């Protein structure tokens, strides 16, 4: 190993520490601060159930919550590909989630934001296959959106 490579290897952690980098699950990181401390508002529809399940899978289920997480989900479907007869062969399922993390004792919003993404499914084949594809796309979309929400929560400044 050359001298330059050794220096880079030794100095890289110092450079990361100097830039304010803090591991999410390290002491004082948001991963540790939010783990098992966020109560997701009760879902009232199918998409909300899937999104809540995915977020709780990442943050844990709070027995003694400190924070509450409100989620507002909006979805729409867009046809993409049509055949010569005018039948839609592929759909995009587009989802948007507005979220707000609030401190339960004060009611103050700690962080909020909006995430958006999409997934697709095919409408070719039988009605049963199309329905199964649509339901799978719904679950995949909520998984993607849950990842985005949790990532934003981990990146937020929740200390103040």
Q: What is the mean pLDDT of residues 58-78?
A: 94
Return d(Cα 104, Cα 39) in angstroms, integer.
9
Question: What are the backbone dihedrals phi and psi of residue 147, each rounded to the nearest 5 degrees, phi first?
Answer: -60, -40
The pLDDT of residue 109 is above 90: yes
In Å, how far are 24, 81, 116 from 51, measured between CA atoms?
22, 28, 13
Percentage above 70 pLDDT, the chain: 80
Q: Which 3 state secondary structure label does DSSP give 29? A: coil
Return d(Cα 2, Cα 153) in angstroms, integer.
41
Q: What is the pTM (predicted TM-score) of this model?
A: 0.80
| Position 1 confidence tier, pLDDT thresholds 50, 70, 90 | low
The pLDDT of residue 68 is above 60: yes
Q: What is the gyration radius of the CA atoms in the chain, in angstroms?
A: 21
Write out the two tokens for 152.
């934003």
Among candidate residues 97, 109, 112, 101, the one with its CA nearest the CA of residue 37: 101
Return d(Cα 137, Cα 51) in angstroms, integer.
13
**Which tens digit of pLDDT belongs to each residue from 6-25?**
666 666 665 555 555 566 65
Return d(Cα 6, Cα 12) in angstroms, integer.
10
**Which tens digit of pLDDT belongs to each residue from 18-65?**
555 566 655 566 667 889 999 999 999 999 999 999 999 999 998 899
- Rounded mean pLDDT of the chain? 86
Contact (CB, 8 A) for 121 and 133: yes
């Amino acid at each position: 190993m050359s001298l330059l490579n050794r220096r880079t290897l030794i100095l890289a952690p110092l450079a990361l520490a100097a830039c304010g980098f803090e591991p999410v699950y390290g002491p004082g990181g948001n991963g540790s601060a939010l783990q098992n401390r966020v109560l997701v508002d009760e879902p009232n529809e199918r998409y909300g159930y899937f999104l809540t399940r995915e977020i709780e899978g990442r943050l844990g289920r709070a027995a003694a919550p400190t924070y509450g997480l409100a989620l507002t989900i909006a979805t729409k479907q867009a046809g993409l590909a049509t055949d010569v007869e005018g039948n839609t062969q592929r759909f995009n399922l587009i989802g948007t989630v507005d979220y707000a993390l609030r401190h339960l004792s004060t009611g103050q919003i700690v962080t909020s934001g909006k995430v958006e993404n999409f997934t697709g499914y095919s409408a070719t084949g039988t009605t049963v296959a199309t329905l199964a594809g649509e339901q799978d796309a719904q679950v995949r979309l909520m998984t993607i959106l849950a990842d985005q929400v949790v990532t934003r929560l981990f990146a937020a400044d929740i200390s103040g």
